[in-house]
């Protein structure tokens, strides 16, 4: 069973390919992705690596947690499941009537 790892403290210059290459020293990397900011298009400084087994994930944590990659000391630990915040959050009064004829001035 695969195991996803959280990798934090990454340099803004670290790429998906660099992450995959580095973590492959610990075993088979199923996927490696750097999270990119939607607005700036720049790395957010963290990513996820999916290892092919729990044993390889543990080995990767031991090998790379608190180690330096691309000039930055990184944090590596097991990723937590993504929390579901319910999707779209409405702000303000969602019962507003936008029909101009019903305005009361």
What is the pLDDT, as a whole number, of residue 91?
A: 54
Share of the chain above pLDDT 70, in %: 79
- Provide the sign of the torsion angle of the four alpha carbons 56, 62, 66, 68, taken in this order: negative
Domains of the chain listed by start with CATH number: 3-78 (3.30.70.330)
- Mean pLDDT score, 3-32: 97
Which of 56, 52, 19 shows the shortest CA–CA distance to 35? Answer: 19
Asked if residues 63 and 74 have their Cβ atoms less than 8 Å apart, the reply is no
Share of the chain above pLDDT 90, in %: 74
What is the pLDDT, as a whole number, of residue 15?
A: 96
Q: Which residue has the higher pLDDT, 8 or 105?
A: 8
What is the pLDDT, as a whole number, of residue 1?
A: 87
Q: Which two tokens stand for residue 29?
A: 């990397």
DSSP string over 2-41? -EEEEEES--TT--HHHHHHHHTTSS-EEEEEEEE-TTT-
| pLDDT over 80 at 74, yes or no | yes
Q: Which two tokens stand for residue 26?
A: 């610990």
């Amino acid at each position: 069973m695969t195991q996803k790892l959280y990798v934090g403290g990454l340099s803004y210059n670290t790429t998906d390919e660099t992450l995959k290459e580095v973590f492959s020293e610990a075993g088979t990397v199923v996927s490696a992705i750097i999270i990119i900011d939607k607005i700036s298009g720049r790395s957010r400084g963290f990513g996820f690596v999916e290892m092919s087994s729990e044993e390889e994930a543990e080995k990767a944590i031991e090998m790379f947690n608190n180690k330096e990659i691309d000039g930055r000391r990184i944090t590596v630990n097991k990723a937590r499941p993504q929390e579901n915040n319910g999707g779209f959050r409405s702000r303000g009064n969602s019962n507003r009537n936008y029909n101009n004829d019903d305005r009361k001035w």
